[in-house]
Structure 1
């Protein structure tokens, strides 16, 4: 099937992570869908570009059901501001926050807390092999927030003394959340070892009860010229167990985990 060069570019940019973040991918997909002539085929191709993005799936399904793609984009951006406002309430004065990878939602929360005059520092991990943690560190530093940057394997040191953990996510279900590889272990360390709260900052549109497939990325991202007989495993995500998660900060407010899940299971029946 022949597709336009603009649609092909969006699909490629989502697949190769040139377009970072769940909301950014969903918005790019909605714009491409709106401009496509063959909308059903475009939706199918866009959904397959990144199989771990329920927000992209849910947004395109809503558009297929008649929602205006550009109104959805507007809503997502308004919701993101709400999440930042809610999330900033969680940041204590003179505190230390730990985060991993790059979540535009988490960055928004921390920037909002800074705007409110709160004093805090952020410890974050580099997030191999694509180093998305460097994006987080750069954005926070530009906002005037003190950042201490660590290798992923230094997480025990990085998390020491933290008051809370903030993670973004690509997928939420009753079982837990899927986020960049390392999140599952970090959530367990926070909950069991350091006994500090783990909050997920996310649009509710990332909720899905569908099974998620953990994307296996190109081994060359880790070791381009690995010796023969060395097999490289490069999972993009892992799933943090719900029992290690305190709750979710979404456009719906600050909700304990079970309360959020209950709301979403009721909401999903009517929306998705």
Structure 2
């Protein structure tokens, strides 16, 4: 096995959720790929390519649901070179372009999304999203009097990360239990959440509990908005592939001591769920605010370069099964 210390450290941090949020995961992976490329000493282009494929696979396997991760990796790996030096240059440029584009996308989403927030609004959010936070921060800096209600987001308490960002920005914030969403929804004017993936029909894959927030919002006639960079849209769903829902370690839910006390107890710990597009009023991207039904267009036109790769990957999967 090839030792890749810096890269495997990043992979572990992504897997263990020290690095959280789909956008941050994608940017961290792109940076790790760049660092790995620049650290490889070989002059043999075939050996270099193999090492980069190994690096790709290590990072790819860390979080199967966050579509931003494979999209970032594919963006970095889109290079053709006859020499190692040319390959390194291309990979570094691809990584820098992806990271810069991602950061600019978040800023643009903040600007577009802030238009949807009115002075005096109370907004609910779930989990932790840099894109959603950009909207809150932009609206607040515009002088709008807003309040944000953040869920704890158990079992990993990503809501605490959201609260930390909001408090440091001076934004009035209320932290609630996940189970208090329906009770609290009567105080809410708008729900804004991030995304780990958006499927071809505009459905949202996000932190488990998001679909329940959407249902409560729909019942209360509160608008439900998703903030998502276009690289979180999943090209492979166009070819019928399902987004894999990650099942995480049971110890996140119940400590080993209690598990030993109840040895026959089964624990399910899905990290994500799917919110049907019919419960989503709008998806705010860096290219504009769109309806969920426009997800197909984003995948086909905005992510057109990925469709060929997605089709090839899908065909490879079929070949493997036959």
Is TM-score (shorter-chain normalized) higher than 0.5? yes
What is residue 26 of structure 1 aligned with on the other side? Answer: 26
What is residue 55 of structure 1 aligned with on the other side? Answer: 68
Is it true that 1:270 corresponds to 2:305 in the alignment? yes
What is residue 6 of structure 1 aligned with on the other side? Answer: 6
Q: How many residues align?
A: 271
CA distance in 1, matches of 2:193, 2:108: 17
What do residues 122-164 of structure 1 show as CA deviations (whole Å, max 9, x unaligned)? Answer: 1121011111111111211221111111111111122222111
What do residues 225-246 of structure 1 show as CA deviations (whole Å, max 9, x unaligned)? Answer: 2322221111100001111001
What is residue 160 of structure 1 aligned with on the other side? Answer: 186
Question: Aligned-pair RMSD on alpha carbons?
Answer: 1.4
- 138-147 or 120-129, which deviates more: 138-147
- 37-46 or 14-23, which deviates more: 37-46
What is residue 317 of structure 2 aligned with on the other side? Answer: none
Is it true that 1:215 corresponds to 2:246 in the alignment? yes
Q: Which of 257, 262, 279 in structure 2 is aligned with 1:244?
A: 279
- State how 1:185-204 maps to structure 2 within 5 Å: 185-191=212-218, 193-204=219-230
Q: Which of 65, 71, 79 in structure 1 is aligned with 2:97?
A: 71
What is residue 102 of structure 1 aligned with on the other side? Answer: 128
What is residue 83 of structure 1 aligned with on the other side? Answer: 109
- In our comparison, the structure showing a higher alpha carbon Rg is 2
CA distance in 2, matches of 1:7, 1:68: 17
CA distance in 2, matches of 1:250, 1:111: 16
- Normalized per residue, the structure richer in strand is 1
* Mapped contact 2:65–2:245 kept (Cα < 8 A): yes
CA distance in 2, matches of 1:94, 1:216: 39
Q: CA deviation at 1:260?
A: 4.1
What is residue 173 of structure 1 aligned with on the other side? Answer: 199
* Mapped contact 2:199–2:295 kept (Cα < 8 A): no
* Mapped contact 2:233–2:295 kept (Cα < 8 A): no
CA distance in 2, matches of 1:263, 1:31: 25
- Normalized per residue, the structure richer in helix is 2
Secondary structure at the residue paired with 1:124? Answer: strand
Secondary structure at the residue paired with 2:173? Answer: strand
* Mapped contact 1:247–1:260 kept (Cα < 8 A): no
What is residue 146 of structure 2 aligned with on the other side? Answer: 120
* Mapped contact 1:52–1:170 kept (Cα < 8 A): yes
CA distance in 2, matches of 1:220, 1:111: 34
Q: CA deviation at 1:86?
A: 0.6
**Gaps in structure 2 of 5+ consecutive residues:** 41-50, 80-92, 308-322
Secondary structure at the residue paired with 1:217? Answer: coil
Secondary structure at the residue paired with 2:303? Answer: helix
CA distance in 1, matches of 2:115, 2:244: 34
**Gaps in structure 1 of 5+ consecutive residues:** none
CA distance in 2, matches of 1:139, 1:160: 25
What is residue 85 of structure 2 aligned with on the other side? Answer: none
CA distance in 2, matches of 1:246, 1:174: 16
Distance change in 2, residues 1:216/1:271 (3 Å): closer
Q: CA deviation at 1:26?
A: 1.0
CA distance in 2, matches of 1:218, 1:147: 30
